[in-house]
Structure 1
Amino acid sequence: MFEEKDEDDAAKEEKQRQQQHKKEKEKKKVQQQQQQQQQQKKKEKKKKKKKKEEEQQEQQHKKEKEKELQQQQKHTMKQKKKKEGEQQQQQQQQQQQQQQKTEKKKKKEEQQHQQEQQHKKEKEKEMQQQQKHKKKEKKKKKEEEEKEKEKQQQKKQQKQQQKQQQKKQQKEEEEGEEKEKNEKEEVQQQAPGEKKKKKKEREREKETKKEKKTQKAKKGKEEEEKEGEGERDTKEEEGEGEEREEEEEEEEEGGGGGGGGGEIKEEEEEGGGGGGERDTKEEEKEEEEEEEGEEGGGGGDTKEEEEEGERDTKEEEEEREEEEEREEGGGGGDTKEEEEREEEREREGEREEEREGEREGEREGERRERGEEGGG
């Protein structure tokens, strides 16, 4: 009986458990369906939103495209109008530019010709100064040699005189010693009074000899001082002689350009043997220095010509770029800007000419300085 009851209770519990499990299963199924429905709703909502956004973007893109098309049409019309207005202006500018280039080229050629003429004159002047300087140096050297020769002769004579004087003095001293010896012998044979007298005479003679020696030393010193003064006088005379020579040469130059040839001939006649070789070496050295100076000066001119050529090329490139920009686009106000740019280019050209004039003045000054240095 109890066993049956237990079986019934177990069957009931099992049945309840199955029913509970079934309910939970159904509940879970319902929840899953609800979740799926919610997800489906969300997806549809998202899809609708995306579609709406795409439609709005498409509308916006369509509007922008229409606006862009209108702007392009407007821009095309503007360009067409501008191009027609600029064709005449371009022709006028090309004519003006061609005229300016022709004038610039002509002016440059004239300046170059003037520079060449100026350089030629300076070179001739420099050569004359060098010839003058060489002649002066030669004359000075000759005078110095003659003076040195005379000086040596004087020294030789002085030495001979001193030698003769020394011999004379030595002879006098030997005679004095001999005399003194004889007198001593005489005194030994004479009375005491005579001895005293002779002693006084010997003392006087000693004083006289001593005074002679002092006078001689004083005279030698005076001669040395006189010789030093003679050298100073000689230098002063040389300076005065050089000044006179410069004045004479300036007067000779005033007589005309024919003097240069005469100087060269005179130098050729004067310079024989080793002197002629020295003159040739000096001339070669001076020619090398002249060539170096010309190369240094010429190098500066070439550099400036290259810079000027680069500027011209740059200006032409800028003009071409501006023409291309005008063809591609821009408004009616560009004509005014172009005129302003043209005026600025003209002003820049004038300033460049002024700078070139200043540089030429500086080069002229340098060449003059080189000429003065070469002349002396």
Structure 2
Amino acid sequence: MVYGALIGSPLGDEFAVLLPRVRTMIAVFYVGLFAMSFDFVSGYTGYLSFGHAMFYGTGAYLVVMAANGALPLVGAETSFMTLLVVAALLGAAFALLVGSVSFRLTGVYFAMVTLGFAEVAHVFIRNWDRVSDNPRDGAAVTSPDGFAIGVPGVDDLQWSIGRLVGDSVENAFGLGIELGTAELSYYLIGAVTLLCYLALQRVLHSPFGRVMVAVRENEERARAVGYDTFRYKMGAFAISGAFAAVAGALFAGYRRSVAPSSTFDLFVTADALLASIIGGFGTLAGPLYGHLFHETVGDMLTTESGGLARYLRETLPESLLTADVAGMEVVTVVNVLIDGRAELYLGLIFIAFVLFVPRGLLGTLRDRLGGTVAEAAAERLRRWSP
């Protein structure tokens, strides 16, 4: 399924190999939000948080354990919107706890301390019997009901999200469009991600955000002019942890299951770091585009039906597939160089970005435009206006 399927546009199957699927885009939203929260503190203060997955996992496990009645204060009757708020508060609280120790250090020592906290949390969650009978394998939501996003207290403005629950919705949002669960989840999770992005953007454009950048550029000078940089760093870390937990809650609400390897693992933070490098550190929106780029390439090189290799095998004529190229048939070349080689090419792309595009996609675009895309567009409109 492709973007055009969301609005009923007949793009045709030939475009499916070039565009990510709806389910992939849903993952791009919640992982992109997590990557933006990582960039908020790491890209704007200069402090790399290698333990950021701890906050993501906190939000995810909160949702699943609350739905299964494994927590004392929030239970299965708690609305998902309330759980998002609780996840944000819990993520901020843990960030303050970790930051109170970690921000006594700088540079690689800060990164290693945050990583140490994350590893402790990882080991704890893998052995916490309250999670499930086998906490190493994670936990799944036992209730058949889905999690709903919408206006709290208004039943008609609540829509379920999830991979396995919910029916198609006729006349969605009053637009006469019928949406399935995947498409509805796409719009709802996308809306929450957009609101979170706007909130983070508002903070960055406030005086608080200006001090964050000052800390990144020259912390000694910022301290010399009278700013309590420790408090500002703690505040930035708390905000970052809050939105990372919201991203984890969205992940759990959609997937309806969690596991230590998909939430608290170091490689979860590595995904955010990779997205930030590809999209551009210190751009906020860049990590979302970076993860979109990562997932799009992965989808193109997948072995599944939407992958490029299978598409070529099914659409190229038999005469071309059996043609000889350097002693091998074309179909063999496709199988060897394309089919299932996503990780190989993604690794090469990552190296290329580090060497040749250090500012990332969005950062390089801003350098070319001389400012943000919005600023450049506004300037063009002013030039064209009478």
Question: TM range, normalised to the smaller chain?
Answer: under 0.3
Greater radius of gyration (CA): 1
The two structures have a TM-score, normalised by structure 2, of 0.24
Quick check: which one's helix share is greater?
Answer: 1
Quick check: which one's strand share is greater?
Answer: 2
The two structures have a TM-score, normalised by structure 1, of 0.24
